[in-house]
Amino acid sequence: MVQDYLPTLLHGAWLSLEVALASLLLAVVFGLANALVKLFGSGWLRALSVAYTTAIRGVPELVMMLFLFYGGERITNIVVGALGGPQIDFNKFAAGVVTIGFVYGAYFTETFRGAFLAVPRGELEAGMAYGMSGWQTFRFILLPRMIPFALPSANNNWLGLMKASALVSILGLQDMAWVAEQAGRATQKPFLFYLLVCLAYLAITTLSGGCVRSLQKRYELEGRRI
């Protein structure tokens, strides 16, 4: 019974991992950019940044995903229709990735902001005194030094993001949660298939947690050498 659905489950698991990794990349970009805005941006940019993180962290991921997918598609088609354009259907994979990345970008913002603030200011001043430009100081001192401070919180964000990626199934994307639902209905054994999905998520999060711990040990050793 399970073997009949195993190829579909594996394909769904790979799709779930693709969604999570693409969302992670987008969330890191959003978070890093927004953290820099919060720390070094002008007053009105910082106000927008605070509004973004406050609003996003206060709205459930499920509600945000439905809002951006269905509401965004509706608004887009109204605008395009008024301009005489064709009907547009949002790509479910892209919609899921953008939504999750946008939401968790707010969490990564606070992770990176706190990590940047944890870097001793004297190291930055030493770089500037040595003749480094602002970009060189950021690239060679601030960014590498903040990574060890960011890793623990970033790992927690990743775990939350990985679990939130299952929400794409409500959009009809055939990830492993969607496959488990369909297989459970067809075989009348939903517990079995949802158990397999739970084990798959547990395996991914455990493996990624081990990778993060290895990175932490590496940066701790490098910090001791410095």
Q: Tell me the per-residue pLDDT of 69-125, one tens digit each, with 9 for 90 and over.
A: 778 778 888 887 787 777 777 788 888 898 899 999 999 999 999 888 888 877 777
Residue 131: how many other CB atoms lie within 10 Å: 7
Domains located in the chain, CATH noted: 2-225 (1.10.3720.10)
CA–CA dist 90, 69 (Å, integer): 7
Q: Which residue has the higher pLDDT, 135 or 28?
A: 28
CA–CA dist 14, 99 (Å, integer): 19
* pLDDT above 70 for 58: yes
Stretch 8-21: mean pLDDT: 88
CB 54 within 8 A of CB 103: no
pLDDT for 220 equals 64
pLDDT for 104 equals 93
CA distances from 172 to 61, 70, 161, 175 (A): 16, 12, 19, 9
Handedness of CA 153, 146, 211, 221 (dihedral sign): negative
pLDDT for 1 equals 64
DSSP state of 130: T
Mean pLDDT of the chain: 83
CB 119 within 8 A of CB 176: no
Confidence of residue 222 (pLDDT cuts 50, 70, 90): low
pLDDT for 152 equals 85
* pLDDT above 70 for 38: yes
Q: Tell me the per-residue pLDDT of 142-192, one tens digit each, with 9 for 90 and over.
A: 777 888 888 888 889 998 898 888 888 888 788 888 888 888 888 888 888
Stretch 129-150: mean pLDDT: 78
* pLDDT above 70 for 224: no
Stretch 50-76: mean pLDDT: 83
CA distances from 29 to 25, 32, 36, 98, 156 (A): 6, 5, 11, 12, 17
pTM of the full predicted structure?
0.85
